[in-house]
Amino acid sequence: MIKKRIYLCLAHMSDAGLEQKYIQEAFDTNWVVPLGPNVNGFEKDLESFVNEIKVPELVEGPTFNDGISTGSTTCLNKRVVALSAGTAAIHLALIACGVGPGDEVIVQSFTFCASSNPITYLGATPVFVDSEKDSWNIDPELMEEAIRDRIAKTGRKPKAIVPVALYGMPYDIDRIMEIANRYDIPVIEDAAEGFGSRWKGQVLGTFGRYGVLSFNGNKMITTSGGGALICPDTQAWQRIMWLATQAREAYPYYQHEAIGYNYRMSNICAGIGRGQMTVANDHINHHKHVQKMYEELLAGVLGIHVHSQPCSLYDRHAGLDPASHEIAGQARNDGMQGEKYDSNYWLCTITLDPSLHVKGQENAYKTVIQGAVGGAAGVVHASKSAHTDCEPNANVEALRVILDQAGIEARPLWKPMHKQPVYKDAPAYVNGVSESLFKVGMCLPSGPCVSDEDVDYIVTCIKNAII
């Protein structure tokens, strides 16, 4: 008996119903357009959120009594434009970085297609780069190899670099920026899945020239659909705002001297966003709580591994007491305070050992899928074959089916873009990491609507599925 449907990740409305308040105000004041008080207010809320740098608390000890602040905050001065989608934000950022026909853009391969599709909108070519093993995000060393090779082969450097915070996990932005700055290539951070994730206390999306956020219905907070672009300064913000509002010139009539886009967020959607911002930190904390539950409940299950953020500085110094002078001194030498990685755990993910046996895996891929896949987001486009040349292992598919029958939505990891037929001719620099993970990985429910009871039920279903 299925108790209810547990979805992968659905945003949750604020308990106070503030979303309805702001929406009602929009109707009462007749601001039912892609601009207005809610849009302005949401942008200011976002700016306050992304500009705050939280200096992580340090381990207590005598070596920290030297003026280093613990748990303090400092501020940036980024500007934010609220848009109709995260994809629109990537599109506008690429335009602002001068990407056009014939150009190339470095982009992480292990991601959703929204990271790369806007590159093709502009007549440019995505150059896919594989992942590092620990974070699953773009491999900085392979990225630099790709840059050098593209320069050697084309005589031109890539116009931009697009790292992605896969499932909310921070990328090694220090190394990425060091390489990007050395080659003078702008970085567009795709933090669509990483709202509220931080690197050394600083919000993802605020390190590169531009940062992309998403507020789709399955994200950390939602505006039902929508996104935002984090801009480096007011001048860049004004240009993005202009492009997003059909590039209208300052005349009392409609004058256009450049191609613009209808990309501004609606006042209604922004009203939802303003209410969501009041519970943003609660949502982030809940995702982290669910991640911890999965880690604890699946810790003893052979053949299943919960993916978590790479070890902190302290963990890497094996055998040393976390409160020791050696650790504290190394932290200062490395320019770090505490953790580098602070993932929001937008989605909780697991990998299954290939040798793990799951009930019914002998029947995996026996049926060609003809209907919608992916819940409300599914689109019916019948498959021609049950197989592709790169697909999850049979035990992963079998577990997905079992969970689906138990009322639990689970999905494979993103299929690497360099293995997508639509990008078969795009340059790719691969090391096998993303392909190997795609074959063994799965996403589990993690949103604010997922209760402790739900996590217990999901883990029980997983355990019962193993032979």
Select from 96, 23, 33 the least CA-distant residue to 264: 33
In terms of DSSP bridges, do strands 79-83 and 227-231 run parallel, antiparallel, or are they unpaired? antiparallel
CA-to-CA dists, residue 454 to 83, 121, 142, 151, angstroms: 34, 41, 40, 51
The three-state secondary structure class of 418 is: helix
C-alpha distance across the termini of the chain, in Å: 21
Select from 377, 373, 275, 270 the least CA-distant residue to 12: 275
Give catalytic status of residue 200 as yes or no. no
To the nearest 10 degrees (0 to 180), the angle between helices 280-297 and 452-465 is 30
> Given 219, 288, 340, 415, which residue is catalytic?
219
Element (H, E) at 441: strand 441-444
Residue located via tokens 């402790």: 452
Element (H, E) at 86: helix 86-96
CB neighbours (10 Å) of residue 418? 24
Q: What's the rounded Cα separation, in Å, for the pair 442 and 366?
A: 20
Instruction: Give Cβ neighbours of residue 225 (< 8 Å, ≥ 6 apart).
Output: 84, 85, 215, 216, 217, 269
- Helical H segments across 97-200, by residue range: 117-121, 140-154, 173-183
**What type of residue is 40?**
N
Select from 216, 174, 168 the least CA-distant residue to 195: 168
Ranges assigned E (strand) in 295-424: 304-306, 341-342, 348-352, 411-412
- Supply the residues annotated as catalytic: 219
